[in-house]
Structure 1
Amino acid sequence: MDTNLQIQNKKLELIQWLSTIEDLTFLEKISDLISRENKKDWANQISDAERQSIEKGIVQADAGKLNPHSKAREIYGKRI
């Protein structure tokens, strides 16, 4: 079974199970868990390579090594 189908099946199982819960306290705990997961800082979820690239860009910007948008258009053309 492909991964996408497994994901969809799991979602349906969870929806069906959740629809049977009558305990408000339990539902609130689930809701709190979802809220905490959604509030995670994206910066903690990026790879080391992405983090290093961002840090390199900040160092370059702090050093005044910036190019105007027109220069980026010249270099990268229609890709941006």
Structure 2
Amino acid sequence: MGLEAIKLELIEWLTKLDDEDTIEYLRVVKDSKTEKDWADNLICEQKSGIGRGLKAIDECRVTPHEEIKKRFGL
């Protein structure tokens, strides 16, 4: 099946689709393909926080997930 035929099949399917969750999922997929980079939308404080987290990882100042779960009884 060619690309154009697949597109037409998807368009036809989408016009009949009533499932809101699937439609929202498809919108997210579409937006993820059209936006440049999700990081471009972060504010300075968010970028700074990510930078601090990455630095902590580089310096081995992290606690394994399993240890945190044990500490909090999860």
- TM-score interval for Structure 1 and Structure 2 normalised by the shorter chain: 0.3 to 0.5
Q: TM-score, normalised by structure 2?
A: 0.46
Q: TM-score, normalised by structure 1?
A: 0.43
